[in-house]
């Protein structure tokens, strides 16, 4: 009989455990996911979290799910984009007409791409991520970036919190409410699987959909001092049918801005 395994597992390597300790992540966070070896025949297993090439990566068990995911703020797209952050829509949407140094809470940190751009633009950013495997990737990438001479000052503006953004917002004292709150939830994919961008397939298989986005937006609107920025696919409906004050449109994404 096939062993019942979760959608993703963490390989029980001393190197991975040591890295989690460096990152301040308790091993219990991955409880129920630790496996000594990848099971040979595990229906439903999509990905393996592991230490590889001096970093944490999430590797797909099937070729169709694409390449391993790892967070790298120094090279590739994010590295380049963070040097020309003024052109980024997320930065424009968050800034609005403000000239003050803003505090930003990114409720849906994911792989931290938007959050890193915002920190590169000079905002102090708190990243909240609830998925344990994604949080491991994020903190690992941030740690490597913090060791880089150029990126260290950007990382110094970033705080992280592993857990639910709803819970985090609910317990914040008014004095700590952020100026701007960002929300970028995963939504059910409408198109055929084949149309889902390859780099998103593995992420989607592991994270699934964020069904509670409407409740998160409702609370965010009560906690933001200036505005809430919601990132959506360009043609998608408004979250909870709430019409934003204005929108910024890009080629594939749209930013709905709610001024509070
Ligand atoms: C579409 S991704 C965000 C991508 C991100 N904007 C980036 O630039 O990499 C959504 C992420 O938000 C996380 N998430 C969704 N709802 C959350 C919540 N209420 N609390 C914490 N994390 C949440 C999901 O686990 C997922 O990793």
- The token pair at 17 is 């455990």
Our mutation pick for probing the ligand 1 site, out of 94, 105, 108, 228, counting the most ligand atoms within 8 A of Cβ, is 108
Domain 76-259 has CATH 3.40.50.300: no
The ranges assigned to domains in the chain are 8-65, 76-259
83-137 pLDDT tens trace:
778 889 999 999 998 888 899 999 999 999 999 999 999 999 999 999 999 999 9
Q: Which amino acids bring their CB within 6 angstroms of ligand 1?
A: 107-108, 110-114, 128-131, 134, 164-166, 184-186, 207, 210, 216
Model confidence at 194: pLDDT above 90: no
State in Å: Cα 182 to ligand 1 middle.
Answer: 10
pTM: 0.95
Model confidence at 70: pLDDT above 90: yes
The DSSP letter of residue 66 is: -
- The token pair at 203 is 């992420």
Name the strands in the sheet holding 180-183, side by side, starting at the edge strand that comes first in the sequence. Answer: 158-162, 124-129, 103-106, 180-183, 227-233, 253-259, 246-249
Cβ–Cβ contacts within 10 Å for residue 146, how many? 15
Confidence of residue 2 (pLDDT cuts 50, 70, 90): low
Nearest ligand 1 atom to alpha carbon 131: 25
Nearest CA to ligand 1 atom 14: 108
């Amino acid at each position: 009989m096939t062993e019942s395994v979760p959608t993703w597992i963490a390989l029980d390597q001393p190197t991975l455990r040591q890295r989690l300790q460096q990152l301040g992540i308790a091993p219990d966070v991955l409880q129920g996911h630790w496996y000594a070896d990848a099971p040979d025949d595990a229906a439903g297993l999509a990905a393996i979290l592991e230490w590889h090439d001096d970093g944490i990566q999430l590797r797909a068990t099937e070729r169709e799910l694409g390449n391993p995911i790892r967070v790298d703020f120094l090279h590739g797209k994010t590295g380049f984009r963070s040097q020309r952050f003024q052109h980024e829509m997320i930065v424009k949407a968050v800034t609005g007409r403000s000239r003050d140094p803003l505090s930003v809470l990114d409720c849906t940190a994911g792989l931290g791409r938007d959050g890193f751009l915002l920190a590169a633009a000079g905002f102090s950013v708190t990243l909240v991520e609830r998925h344990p495997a994604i949080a491991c990737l994020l903190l690992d990438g941030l740690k490597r970036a913090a060791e880089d001479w150029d990126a260290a000052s950007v990382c110094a503006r970033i705080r992280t919190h592993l857990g639910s953004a709803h819970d985090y917002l609910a317990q914040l004292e008014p004095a700590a409410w952020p100026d701007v709150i960002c929300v970028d939830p995963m939504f059910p994919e409408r198109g055929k699987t084949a149309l889902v961008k390859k780099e998103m397939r593995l992420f989607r298989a592991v994270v699934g959909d964020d069904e509670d986005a409407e409740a998160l937006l409702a609370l965010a609107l009560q906690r933001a001092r200036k505005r809430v920025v919601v990132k959506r696919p360009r043609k998608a409906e408004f979250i909870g049918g709430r019409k934003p004050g204005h929108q910024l449109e890009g080629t594939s994404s749209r930013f709905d801005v709610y001024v509070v």
